[in-house]
Amino acid sequence: MMVFNAACLSRLFLTLLVSSAALDSNSIAHGLITNANTDTANPIRRVVSLLQNMAKKVEAEGKAADELFDKFMCYCKTGKADLAKSISDNDAKIPALQSDIEEAESSLATTKQELEQHQVDRDAAKAAMAKATAIREKEHEAYLKESGDLKLNIGAMSKAIPAIEKGMAGGFLQTKDATSIKRAVLADADLTEFDRDILSEFLQGGAVGEEGYVPKSGQIVGILKQMKEDFEKDLAGVEEQESGAQKIYDELMAAKTKEVQQHTEAIERKTALVGELSVEIVQMKNSLSEAEAAKIEDTKFLADLGTDCDTKEKEHEEQVKVRGEELTAISETIKILNDDDALDLFKKTLPSPSLLQTRSYANAKKAHAIALIGAVRNGRPEIDFIALALNSGKVDFSKVIKMIDDMVEILAKEQSDDDHKKEYCTNQLDLMEDKAKELGHTIGDTETELADYKETLKTVEEDLASLKSGIESLDKSVMEATMQRKKENEEYTELMASDTAAKELLEFAKNRLNKFYNPKLYKPPPKRELSEEEKIYASMGGEVPALLQVANSHRVKKDAPGPPPETATYKKKGEESTGVIAMIDMLKRDLDKEMTEADVTEKDSQKDYEQMMDDAAKKRAEDVKAITEKEGVKADTETSIANLEEALKTQNEELASIKEVEHNLHGECDWLIENFEVRKEARAKEVDALKNAKAILSGADFSFAQKSVGLLKHHTF
Ranges of the chain whose pLDDT falls below 70: 1-44, 46, 90, 92-93, 165, 167-177, 205-217, 289-291, 293-294, 304, 337, 341-397, 527-577, 580, 699-717
Asked if 69 and 316 count as a contact pair (C-beta separation under 8 A), the reply is: yes
Asked if 430 and 272 count as a contact pair (C-beta separation under 8 A), the reply is: no
- Count of Cβ atoms closer than 10 Å to residue 194 Cβ: 9
Rg (alpha carbons) of the chain, rounded to whole number: 64
Dihedral, 632, 637, 640, 646 alpha carbons, nearest 10: -120
pLDDT of residue 138: 92
- Give 3-state DSSP helix, strand, coil % of the chain, rounded to 5: 85, 0, 15
- Count of Cβ atoms closer than 10 Å to residue 157 Cβ: 22
Distance of CA 280 to the CA centre of its chain: 7
Dihedral, 411, 413, 414, 417 alpha carbons, nearest 10: 160
Distance in angstroms (rounded) separating the CA atoms of residues 659 and 663:
6
Would residue 203 be called left, alpha or beta, if left means φ above 0 and alpha means ψ between -120 and 50 degrees? alpha
Distance of CA 399 to the CA centre of its chain: 51
Single-letter amino acid code for the residue at 62: G
Distance in angstroms (rounded) separating the CA atoms of residues 594 and 494:
13
Length of the chain: 717
Sequence-ordered strand ranges (E) for 282-351:
none
Phi, psi values for residue 318, rounded to 5°: -65, -40
Q: DSSP H helical segments within 379-396, as ranges?
A: 381-391
Task: Name the DSSP class of 496.
Answer: H
Distance in angstroms (rounded) separating the CA atoms of residues 417 and 446:
42
Distance in angstroms (rounded) separating the CA atoms of residues 161 and 293:
98
Q: Rounded to the nearest 10 degrees, what angle do helices 305-338 and 290-303 cross at?
A: 80
Asked if 662 and 278 count as a contact pair (C-beta separation under 8 A), the reply is: no
pLDDT of residue 627: 92
Would residue 167 be called left, alpha or beta, if left means φ above 0 and alpha means ψ between -120 and 50 degrees? left
Asked if 100 and 284 count as a contact pair (C-beta separation under 8 A), the reply is: yes
Distance in angstroms (rounded) separating the CA atoms of residues 54 and 19:
11
Distance in angstroms (rounded) separating the CA atoms of residues 642 and 315:
57
Asked if 633 and 460 count as a contact pair (C-beta separation under 8 A), the reply is: yes
CA angle 596, 597, 603 (to 5 degrees): 90
Single-letter amino acid code for the residue at 524: P
Nearest to 650 by CA among 435, 451, 443, 448: 443
Distance in angstroms (rounded) separating the CA atoms of residues 58 and 48:
15
Q: pTM of the prediction?
A: 0.45
Task: Name the DSSP class of 376.
Answer: T
Q: How many Cα atoms are found within 13 Å in the side-chain-facing hemisphere of 233?
A: 7
Distance in angstroms (rounded) separating the CA atoms of residues 341 and 345:
6
Q: Is the peptide bond before 95 cis (omega within 30 degrees of 0)?
A: no
Distance in angstroms (rounded) separating the CA atoms of residues 422 and 273:
17
Distance in angstroms (rounded) separating the CA atoms of residues 21 and 515:
162
CA angle 41, 44, 48 (to 5 degrees): 110
Q: Rounded to the nearest 10 degrees, what angle do helices 702-714 and 355-372 cross at?
A: 130
Distance in angstroms (rounded) separating the CA atoms of residues 702 and 1:
60
Task: Name the DSSP class of 92.
Answer: -
Task: Name the DSSP class of 696.
Answer: H
Residues whose CB falls within 8 Å of the CB of residue 428, separated by 6 or more in sequence, listed in order: 271, 274, 275, 278, 665, 669
Asked if 281 and 91 count as a contact pair (C-beta separation under 8 A), the reply is: no
Residues whose CB falls within 8 Å of the CB of residue 584, separated by 6 or more in sequence, listed in order: 506, 509, 510, 513
Task: Name the DSSP class of 212.
Answer: S
Residues whose CB falls within 8 Å of the CB of residue 250, separated by 6 or more in sequence, listed in order: none
Nearest to 185 by CA among 197, 175, 176, 174: 197
Distance in angstroms (rounded) separating the CA atoms of residues 680 and 665:
21
Nearest to 623 by CA among 455, 472, 461, 480: 472
Q: From residue 553, give the alpha-carbon distance in Å to each of 266, 525, 531, 536, 560.
A: 116, 10, 12, 19, 13
Distance in angstroms (rounded) separating the CA atoms of residues 361 and 157:
83
Across the chain, which distance is largest between two alpha carbons, in Å? 220
Distance in angstroms (rounded) separating the CA atoms of residues 394 and 118:
46
pLDDT of residue 527: 67
pLDDT of residue 667: 86
Asked if 423 and 274 count as a contact pair (C-beta separation under 8 A), the reply is: no
pLDDT of residue 717: 32
Q: From residue 678, give the alpha-carbon distance in Å to each of 240, 380, 701.
A: 51, 17, 35
pLDDT of residue 300: 73
Long-range contacts of 303-308 (CB under 8 A, 24+ apart): 305/76, 305/79, 305/80, 305/83, 306/80, 308/76
Nearest to 281 by CA among 68, 104, 448, 487: 104
